[in-house]
Amino acid sequence: MKNLKWWQKTAVYQIYPKSFMDTTGKGTGDLRGITSKLDYLQKLGVGAIWLTPIYPSPMIDNGYDISDYTAIDSSYGTMADFDELIDEAKARNIKIVMDLVYNHTSDKHAWFLESKSSRDNPKADWYIWRDEKTNWRSIFGGSAWEFCPERGQYYLHTFATQQPDLNWENPEVRRALFDAANFWLKKGVGGFRVDAITYIKKPAEFKDGESDGKDGLVSVHIMTAATKGILDFLHEFKREVFDGHDIFTVAEANGVAAEDLPKWVGSDGVFDMLFEFSHVNLSLKDGEIWCRPTKWKLTELKQAIANSQTATKNNGWYPIFFENHDKPRSVNHFLPKASDPIKAAKILGTILLTMRGTPFIYEGQELGMTNVAWDSIEKYNDISSRGQYEIALNEGFSKEKALEFVHFFSRDNARTPMQWNSSENAGFTAGKPWLPIHDDYKICNAATEDADKNSVLNYFRKLNAFRANSEILLFGDYEELLRDDENIFAFARAVENKKIYVLANFTLNEVTFPTEILGQSKFILGNYTAHNKGVLKPLEVVLYKEATS
Ligand code: GLC
């Protein structure tokens, strides 16, 4: 097989540690809980685990507000637990990937406490301070500026008030951040997911923008994402941290256009992969405001994915994902409302595990977990859901409508605890879970699915194992099929004349397709027990393989 790096040949599993496995009965997950589930992950066939932040944090944004970059939050355990996790994972050929949140810290970080104390302390310039504010809206809602009485100045926060933005222009800040990343490399981590990186460079001048809402504000995303000059910082980051290590880096890069990808990834770029959001943000065409969800078509989804496949064809590598801790469950988001979740989960799982790139499986996706719909905003923990609910009310929507948007978009959809078995609290905790367990846990859980050969879990395992040994799925080119079809998502993967075809019916109706597109290939796998060539039953997905290969 061709020379691919280790991380190009395996799937990555994303863990939201607070919701994964609790070993102490406190209601939140911990590192020892993750270690206890490594055999499960090995059986699923993943070679790396991306942990969302486990550092000390006041948990305003569940760990994305960090108060110490080189320690472990006591709710997750100790540094010894972390070392044990690295060792136990290594014994199973699994690497641990850390989340670097370097656009901002917590407002309780010692750096910020010092910076805010006066205008002339040694860290006075470590954050973004201004005498005047602009009309920028933070990503979680409300002004992106907060007044600090000690300095008589405002600081910028792209996200929550408690997440002040660092000043990357200051070389001391960059040094401190690079040192912290190197600390984790010395511990043997297998790579980094780099958070919200498109926001680290601010424009030279801070000006008001044209408002995009009824609040008179404009999204900070529009005003600051991917500002010119950002790549200089990032190349320094690469030189000082990533170069010379057998790791992978994947950056969260909202706002990078597909045509700019070569500057960000690949031989002339900075990162190995970039999470860009064109295919998962189709409902947000008007920007980041949830209360204006737009309808999207299957052809747009196919086009968004095809663009990323084309952009990374010869340069860089694509991280394929349909879910993460910020997005609703994919089954609800991409398939019609009345869909059978098992069929739907297998459709998205098939596309995820057969496309070109590194698949990222988000915890619970391999079980077919689905959204929740709680009856009041108070039940939601997610700071972003609460902010967006307020925005919806301010825009004039009723409470019911605002809650409907929350049901559709809330990040808590993906954060309900992992469902391990059918016992109380789905086997996640012996205490009171920090977020309610989804009420379908008696049927949708790892133990029940392990015993059912037709389960989503066993389907993921089978497909993952198939992928790991398939030259076509690892290296093959991506070829779009039935590009204008609004019902069927179809593509082929090809190494010369050896091909695998994937066809998925995204509708609840039976549809037909021209069998010529399949050449001489034969049916090998699908989500129904029987399949008729040329016809796709509701939500049917099939894999065909060229007989010659
Ligand atoms: C990223 C994270 C998200 C977090 C935000 C602020 O978008 O994925 O969960 O709230 O950054 O750090």
Looking at the fold, whether 66 and 38 belong to one and the same domain comes out as yes
Dist CA 26 CA 377 (whole Å): 24
**Ligand 1 atom closest to Cα of 158?**
6
Task: Please give the Cα distance from 353 to 77 (Å, whole number).
Answer: 33
Please name the residues in contact with 394: beta carbons below 8 A apart, sequence gap of 6 or more.
Answer: 213, 214, 215
User: What pLDDT was estimated at residue 439?
Assistant: 96
| Residues 293 and 364 occupy one common structural domain | yes
Give the model's confidence band at 285: pLDDT under 50 very low, under 70 low, under 90 confident, else very high. Answer: confident
Same domain, 299 and 189: yes
Q: Which two tokens stand for residue 395?
A: 């825009």
Q: Domain for residue 112, yes or no?
A: no
User: Cα of 195 to ligand 1 centre, how many Å?
Assistant: 6
* Residue of 59, 140, 326 best suited for mutating to test ligand 1, as the one with most atoms within 8 Å of CB: 326
- Rounded CA-CA distance 443/452 in Å is 11
Give nearest CA residue, ligand 1 atom 9: 326
Tens digit of pLDDT for each residue in 207-221? 999 998 889 999 999
CA of 385 from ligand 1 middle (Å) equals 13
Closest atom of ligand 1 to 384 CA is 10
CA of 145 to the centre of ligand 1 (A): 18
Look at residue 289 in the predicted model and tell me its pLDDT: 78
Q: Please tell me the distance between residue 530's alpha carbon and the centre of ligand 1 in angstroms.
A: 43
Q: What distance in Å separates the CA atoms of residue 542 and residue 526, rounded to the nearest whole number?
A: 4
On whether the CB atoms of residues 54 and 82 are closer than 8 A, the answer is: yes
Assign residue 525 the CATH number of its domain.
2.60.40.1180
> Is 250 within the bounds of a domain?
yes
Ligand 1 atom at minimal distance to the Cα of residue 254 = 7
Whether residue 133 is contained in a domain is answered as: no
Residues contacting residue 326 through CB under 8 Å, at least 6 positions apart: 384, 411, 414
Chain mean position to CA 281: 12
DSSP lists the bridge partners of residue 165 as 104
156 assigned to some structural domain: no
CATH of the domain at 224: 3.20.20.80
Residue 458 shares a structural domain with residue 489: no
Nearest C-alpha to atom 2 of ligand 1 is from which residue? 195
Strands 541-545 and 522-526, how do they pair?
Answer: antiparallel
pLDDT at 315 over 90: no
Instruction: Examine the fold and report which residue of 403, 435, 466 is the final residue of a domain before the chain moves on.
Output: 466
Do the Cβ atoms of 483 and 508 come closer than 8 Å? no
The answer to whether position 185 is within a domain reads yes
Residues 318, 323, 328, CA angle at the centre, nearest 5°? Answer: 145
Atom number of ligand 1 nearest to Cα 326: 9
User: Can you tell me which atom of ligand 1 is nearest the CA of 104?
Assistant: 12
Distant-in-sequence, close-in-space partners of 472: CB < 8 Å, separation ≥ 6: 493, 494, 495, 498, 499, 500, 545, 549
Cross-strand pairs, 293:
none
Q: Which of 97, 159, 193, 256 to mutate to test the pocket of ligand 1 (most atoms within 8 A of CB)?
A: 159
Mean pLDDT of 366-374: 98
Give the per-residue pLDDT at 548. Answer: 60
Sign of the CA dihedral with 173 first, then 195, 377, and 221 last? positive
Contact residues for 152 (Cβ-Cβ < 8 A; gap 6+): none
Q: Which ligand 1 atom lies nearest to the CA of residue 103?
A: 12
| Annotated catalytic residue 240 | no
HSE-up (13 A, CA, CB side) for residue 336: 11
Neighbour-count burial of 321, counting CB atoms closer than 10 A to its CB (0-12 exposed, 13-18 middle, 19+ buried):
buried
Rounded Cα gap, residues 346 and 330, in angstroms: 11
Kindly state whether residues 436 and 316 are assigned to the same domain: yes
The residue whose CA is least distant from atom 11 of ligand 1 is 196
pLDDT, tens digit (0-9, with 9 covering 90-100), for 377-434: 999 999 999 999 999 999 999 999 999 999 999 999 999 999 999 999 999 999 999 9
Cα(384) to centroid(ligand 1), Å? 10
Q: 405, 439, 466 — which closes off a domain?
A: 466
Q: Which residue, among 19, 11, 4, 6, has the nearest Cα to 412 in the 3D structure?
A: 19
| Residue 493, domain extent | 475-547
Looking at the structure, tell me whether residues 531 and 445 fall in a common domain. Answer: no
131 is a domain residue: no
Q: Ligand 1 centre and the CA of 480: distance in Å?
A: 32
- Total number of domains constituting the chain: 2
Q: pLDDT by residue (tens digit) across 130-174?
A: 999 999 999 999 999 999 999 999 999 999 999 999 999 999 999
Asked, for residue 136, whether it belongs to a domain, the answer is no
pLDDT, one tens digit per residue, over 320-345 is 999 999 999 999 999 999 999 999 99
Report d(CA 49, CA 541) in Å as an integer. 28
Could you tell which of 14, 61, 219 is best to mutate to test the pocket of ligand 1, judged by most ligand atoms within 8 Å of the CB? 61
Mutate to test the pocket of ligand 1, among 54, 55, 64 (most ligand atoms within 8 A of CB): 64
Pairing of strands 358-362, 541-545: unpaired
Which of 407, 442, 466 represents a domain boundary (last residue)? Answer: 466
pLDDT bracket for residue 288 (50, 70, 90): low
Q: Is 362 helix (H, G, I), strand (E, B) or coil?
A: strand
The per-residue pLDDT of the chain, averaged, comes to 96
Phi–psi pair at 502, nearest 5 degrees: -125, 130
Q: Which helix (H) or strand (E) holds 113?
A: helix 110-117
- Tell me, in angstroms, the distance from the centre of ligand 1 to residue 415's CA: 13
Q: How far is the CA of 369 from the centre of ligand 1 (A)?
A: 21
Radius of gyration of the chain (CA): 23
**Are residues 348 and 304 both part of a single domain?**
yes
Catalytic status, residue 195: yes
Reported as a pLDDT band with limits 50, 70 and 90, residue 287 is low
d(CA 371, CA 407): 8
- Report how far residue 387's alpha carbon sits from residue 383's, in angstroms, rounded to the nearest whole number: 6
- Contact assessment for residue 136 and residue 218, using Cβ atoms and an 8 Å cutoff: yes
Q: Whose CA is nearest to atom 12 of ligand 1?
A: 64
Of the candidates 65, 99, 212, 252, the residue annotated as catalytic is 252
Q: Identify the CA nearest to 254 among candidates 279, 221, 282.
A: 221
- Are 250 and 315 part of one and the same domain? yes
Q: Report the atom number in ligand 1 closest to the C-alpha of 65.
A: 12
List the structure tokens of 137: 């809206």
Q: Do 6 and 408 contact (CB within 8 A), yes or no? A: no
Give the list of residues 6+ apart from residue 58 with CB closer than 8 angstroms, or none. Answer: 65, 67, 106, 108, 162
Name, in order, each residue with C-beta under 8 angstroms of 239's C-beta and a sequence gap of 6 or more: none
Copy the structure tokens of residue 306. Answer: 């095809």
Asked if the structure places residue 324 within a domain, the reply is yes
The mean per-residue pLDDT over the stretch 91-108 comes to 98
Q: Are residues 273 and 341 in the same domain?
A: yes
Which among 73, 99, 195, 272 is annotated as catalytic? Answer: 195
Scan for tokens 């044209």, then name that residue.
Answer: 210
531 and 434 in a common domain: no
Instruction: Based on the fold, state whether residues 448 and 485 are members of the same structural domain.
Output: no
Residues with CB under 6 Å of ligand 1 are 61, 64, 101, 159, 195-196, 252, 325-326
Residues 501 and 364 both lie in one domain: no
